[in-house]
Amino acid sequence: MKRIFLIIAIVFGVSTNAQQTPAPPQSEQIAIIGATAHIGNGEVIENCTIIFKDGKITAIGADLMAPTIGTMINAEGKHVYPGFIAPSKSLGLVEVDAVRASDDQDEIGEMIPHVRSLIAYNAESKVVESMRPNGVLIGQVTPVGGTISGTSSIVQFDAWNWEDAAVKTDDGIHMNWPNFFRRGRWWMGEERGFIPNKDYGKEMNDIKMFFQNSIAYGKASEKEKNLPFAAMQGLFDGSQRLYIHADGEKEMTDGVTLAKEMGVKNVVIVGGYRANKIVDLLKEHNVPVLVERTHSLPSFEDDDYDITYKLPKLLVDAGLLVGLQNEEAANFQTRNLAFYAGQTVAQGLDKETALKLITGNTAKILGIDDMYGTLEEGKSATLFISEGDALDMRTNQLTKAYIDGRDVSLETHQTELWKRYMGKYEREKQGQ
């Protein structure tokens, strides 16, 4: 009898804590009528009608006749946005930091471009699930650690497994450029604060040697299979992007210069804390920047107190292609991506330009703008309806969300707990 109760308890526990079941494919035409549509490319359409079928937008505009078939959603007074995109995150690779068995974001080795993050992606992650209620529907699953961390892939956040989740597989390779200055190890007798990295030249030469060996491997007519060198070939033919994670002026300059010297076609800076200091170099080589989150403190004492708040605007005004990322913060904070963009509005960016930082611009930087990032005819129906301004945490209230036309659930373990305890307090209040 005890065994029966134990089995029931286990089944009940699993059923109540399981992730929401992924939505089935779109089965009928859907039309959203009367909304204010924020296209994601800087445009806004008032009183807009959006029609999508088989997962793609078939019509969008202010003067469209309402269809007579399918499902119609009256969104008058509400706002429609393209799904927000979270780049350079280990979402789905680590669930609980303190539980090593749930952490697949890092592998052993310094130069491991052949390590693919996608195959370790956990589509049932509760952290991933919690992104959807704030409109974050797509992400770039990115490995961390080492000098060359591995290869990222882009996924949508409502899937049974990593195969179903994949939007773009092996889109780019991520490299952590060494720091010219590092923090002193005071416990080893070094000075506190930042000191020169004596190994910087050697570390830079190691990277250069690895690239040169990869180029030589690609040119060899006869060769034994070398997984790291083989994984680098997409950088030289333009099929993959090189994401250089760096913040300092010298680090970014050296990283971009070496990459171009080695023949890398597409380079992206991730972080870019000092990117406003090397704008001319970045523009010369057409290098976009995935700038760090705006809700963070300055890194140095002599920095402007609001440098992280205004950096995206400085880069946009300088003519760079800019997106927002949340690399250094915990994965769960990625749900605040919309509010990082909202912060840039307070620094002078137009709201629709701020929206581009997490939609159209990011899609271009990741190379998925042919299908995602904006609300346009022929593109994926990955979008959501909000009660108000989605960049404002007071009015970001989603009522519907669609990924490739599929009506995805906005319920998570957090919303279930919220309802549970709100009900508890309401009952207590009535009892009083």
Q: For residue 138, which phi and psi values (nearest 5 degrees)?
A: -135, 145
Report the pLDDT value the prediction gives residue 100, as an integer from 0 to 100.
76
Rounded distance between C-alpha atoms, residue 94 and residue 145, angstroms: 13
Please list, residue by residue across 54-75, b when 16 or more beta carbons sit within 10 angstroms of its beta carbon and e when fewer do: ebbbeebeeeeeebeeeebbeb
Tokens 């009608």 belong to residue: 49
154-187: pLDDT as tens digits: 999 999 999 999 999 999 999 999 998 877 777 7
In this predicted structure, the answer to whether residue 233 has a pLDDT above a threshold of 60 is yes
Mean pLDDT of 383-395: 96
CA–CA distance from 44 to each of 34, 61, 80, 87, 355 (Å)? Answer: 13, 10, 10, 24, 11
Rounded distance between C-alpha atoms, residue 324 and residue 292, angstroms: 6
pLDDT band (50, 70, 90) for residue 427: confident
Report the pLDDT value the prediction gives residue 112, as an integer from 0 to 100.
96
pLDDT band (50, 70, 90) for residue 394: very high
CB atoms closer than 10 angstroms to residue 307: 18
In this predicted structure, the answer to whether residue 196 has a pLDDT above a threshold of 60 is yes
Report the pLDDT value the prediction gives residue 184, as an integer from 0 to 100.
73
Report the pLDDT value the prediction gives residue 10, as an integer from 0 to 100.
42
Tokens matching residue 281: 């170099």
Asked if residues 50 and 37 have their Cβ atoms less than 8 Å apart, the reply is yes
Mean pLDDT of 389-396: 95
pLDDT band (50, 70, 90) for residue 332: confident
Report the pLDDT value the prediction gives residue 432, as an integer from 0 to 100.
60
Report the pLDDT value the prediction gives residue 137, as an integer from 0 to 100.
97
Please write down the long-range contacts of 341-345, taking CB distance under 8 Å and 24 or more positions apart: 341/294, 341/391, 342/389, 342/391, 342/392, 342/393, 343/294, 343/295, 343/309, 344/294, 344/309, 344/310, 344/312, 344/313, 345/391
In this predicted structure, the answer to whether residue 414 has a pLDDT above a threshold of 60 is yes
In this predicted structure, the answer to whether residue 101 has a pLDDT above a threshold of 90 is no
Rounded distance between C-alpha atoms, residue 133 and residue 187, angstroms: 44
pLDDT band (50, 70, 90) for residue 1: very low
Which superfamily, per CATH, for 84-180+232-372? Answer: Metal-dependent hydrolases (3.20.20.140)
3-state secondary structure of 394: coil
* C-alpha closest to that of 39 among 52, 30, 28, 50: 50
Lowest mean pLDDT segment, chosen from 20-29, 168-177, 273-282, 379-388: 20-29
Name the burial class of residue 305, with classes exposed (0-12), middle (13-18) and buried (19+) by CB atoms within 10 angstroms of its CB. Answer: exposed
Q: What is the pTM of this model?
A: 0.91
Domain ranges of the chain: 84-180+232-372
* C-alpha closest to that of 249 among 235, 267, 233, 269: 269
Report the pLDDT value the prediction gives residue 19, as an integer from 0 to 100.
59
In this predicted structure, the answer to whether residue 232 has a pLDDT above a threshold of 50 is yes
Mean pLDDT of 227-238: 96
Q: How far is CA 298 from the centre of its chain?
A: 22
